[in-house]
Amino acid sequence: MFLIVGLGNPGEKYARTRHNVGFAVLHAWSDALGVRFSSRRFQAQHAQAVFQGKKVFLVCPETYMNLSGNAVRACRDYYDIDQEHILVIHDDLDLPFGRIKVGRKIGSGGHKGVDSIVRNLGTTGFARVKIGIGRPRYGEPVEDFVLSPFYKDQEGMLDQVIQGAVQACQLFVLDGVESAMNRINCQNFGNEEV
């Protein structure tokens, strides 16, 4: 079984914000798979599906970002999932909008949700799909920037970025992290200069 985790904050006020792009990716994939999320356990919205013969467990923690690791650990322990089968999807300030980077055994880059997962799992050995949100254009404090919607001129490309991240998840499940890295990391899914 594969554990695929999208990071974000619960609640309607955060739904279209940069920090919730991990949730957006999993909701897009769950729609394509025809499965619905429920929230009966694990402090998370979750759904089970089969993707081309592989079992996947989709998880959106409902604990707020800095406690995401609690839900991830609970799922990992319950299903006894190897760290090589865990993928975490989240926003990344240091990547320009439109870029997606797949990796494994990399630091958190100061992302509080990833920090929480590393603390709870005791490893950085899980794979990640980092979705570029870029840096604030207008001097906004970073805390406000990540909790705000994407800029108007980015909204038209956002679905393309989300579909690129879904593709990264699919490649990870079917062919492994190296295949996902080789296919995704060289692409630009937005229209911004890099």
DSSP H helical segments within 91-133, as ranges? 112-121
Collapsing DSSP states into helix, strand and coil, what is residue 115? helix
111 is catalytic: no
Whole-number CA gyration radius for the chain = 15
* DSSP string across 47-86: EEEEETTEEEEEEEESS-GGGHHHHHHHHHHHHT--GGGE
Instruction: Calculate the CA 102 to chain-centre distance.
Output: 10
CB 143 within 8 A of CB 14: no
* DSSP string across 106-173: ---TT-HHHHHHHHHHT-S-SEEEEEE----SS---HHHHHTSBPPHHHHHHHHHHHHHHHHHHHHHH
CB 189 within 8 A of CB 160: yes
CB 74 within 8 A of CB 43: yes
> Which residues are annotated as catalytic?
19
